[in-house]
Amino acid sequence: MTTAAGYVRVSTEEQAREGYGLAAQEQAARAYCQAQGWELVEVYADAGRSGKSMRGREALARLLEDAQAGRFQRIVFWKLDRLGRNLRDLLDICDTLESLNVGIVSIQEAIDTGTAAGRMVRSFLGAVAEFEREVITERIKAGIAEKARQGELVGPLPLGYKRDESGVVVFEEAVALLVREAFVRYATGAYSLRDMAHWADEVGLRSTEGNHLDRLSLRKILNNIAYTGQVAFHRRQGGGIVARGKHSAIVDAALFAEVQEALRNRQTHVPERPFGREPYPLTGVAVCHACGAPMLGCAVTVDRRWRYRYVRCSTAQRRGRDACRQPMVRAELLEDQVAAYVGGMRLPPEYLGEVVAELRRRQRGRVADDGEAERLRREMERWRRLFVLGEIDENRYRRETSPLKRHLAEVERPQEALDVERAVNYLRDVGRLWAQSPRGQKREFVREVFARIVVEGRELISIMPKPLYAPLFVLDRRERFGGDFCRMAPRAGLEPAT
């Protein structure tokens, strides 16, 4: 038998105006369940509670908790506005209940999402709501553009500015002086962006979050026209807005123009490839032993003819060589060390059957959780709605959704790119296959098999396999070196998987 719960709500104002109180709503819900042959488990009542918000509605909160616990299959109420008068809250409630396979039934609107027709109506309401969100988004964009035309800074304030208690944009005196000094120094042409990053460290100039300024951050500051007392909106895309701002200038227009000319003069060549497009097999896995930062791939062209591939510490790349002692290393040198180590693996045939069974067991345990992925998408959508409706700013939106996006990417990542038996054979013959494979395929292999590779100087000092592949490396350690895996691991620079 289908189980159902009733929900009734009325505010004092509605009861006085419409006269349709809790008792009448409950009677309607009971009669509907009786007519359908459903078992009514409980009636949840919010008396004297407004439907404009979910806050303060204890019965609704308890209803959602019981739905999570699986106490019923339907929720019956008089009208949709009993669940909520706020469209955003109403959609969130419906999304939550549908993810739990709990249908909603509105007696007045004849909606039952447990049926095909009801789901169609619900989809229609969702389409209308989506249209409304898009209209709101367009209004927000138009509002931001209008604020820029009126001279108000939009988005996060540039470094050196703050808002006082009345909301007016004013100087942060000490920081503003350093920002102006940065413009003056760079305009001389005697300093590179990397030199400027060193100078910023020395004088204590930091980002609004308190982080070190690298050369890319300095370039953004020196390119920001807001420091001249103007407001720009989509200026770099062409056809944007540049208006006189209501805030005071930190640098004058002549100094800003000199800095732009100096930036153009130092841009001696256009990179042959966009940053990050060159496939480097170890990027995303290799880290610097000295500072723990990721290692990045970069290309160096000599005499405009010879192009060499290097791997370098991202700290040194952003802040200069003095920031980290790890030198640039030829990419082929490190890649050959990976191939030599894995190519020398010895996997005893008598253990391979057991290893394959273990790998399959772990593979089954890593199947993506579709329910978790759906929950993360709903959570991201809720934050997007709050941002679109203007209830949170962009910084809060990015701060809340960034970890959700990372978690979702991990959940949805293909769990095993290699067939188990093929993985075993691949690892046994990887030395030869590595030499024959393109760099993109090598990168996929490294990311699939290894969790972390630590680089010190020009050598790999530590290789940690992912848990799925750890049994293969355990057998190899014992076969080649004997003894316990964890005890022997440092002899060949291999860490046990965690």
- Evaluated on CA atoms 426, 428, 434, 440, the torsion sign reads positive
Catalytic, out of 11, 99, 437, 462: 11
What is the rounded distance in angstroms from the CA atom of residue 288 to the CA atom of residue 290? Answer: 6
Tokens of 377: 């998408």
Q: Is 11 known to be catalytic?
A: yes
Query: Which amino acid, 154?
Result: V
Beta-carbon contacts of 400 under 8 Å, excluding residues fewer than 6 positions away, are 383, 392
What is the rounded distance in angstroms from the CA atom of residue 220 to the CA atom of residue 134? Answer: 31
The answer to whether the beta carbons of residues 319 and 486 sit under 8 Å apart is no
What is the rounded distance in angstroms from the CA atom of residue 422 to the CA atom of residue 428? Answer: 10
Residue 171 backbone phi and psi in degrees, to 5:
-75, 150
What is the rounded distance in angstroms from the CA atom of residue 79 to the CA atom of residue 8? Answer: 9
Radius of gyration of the chain (CA): 31
The residue to which tokens 């004297």 are assigned: 48
Query: Which amino acid, 270?
Result: V
Residue 206: closest CA among 230, 179, 225, 181: 179
Residues assigned a catalytic role: 11
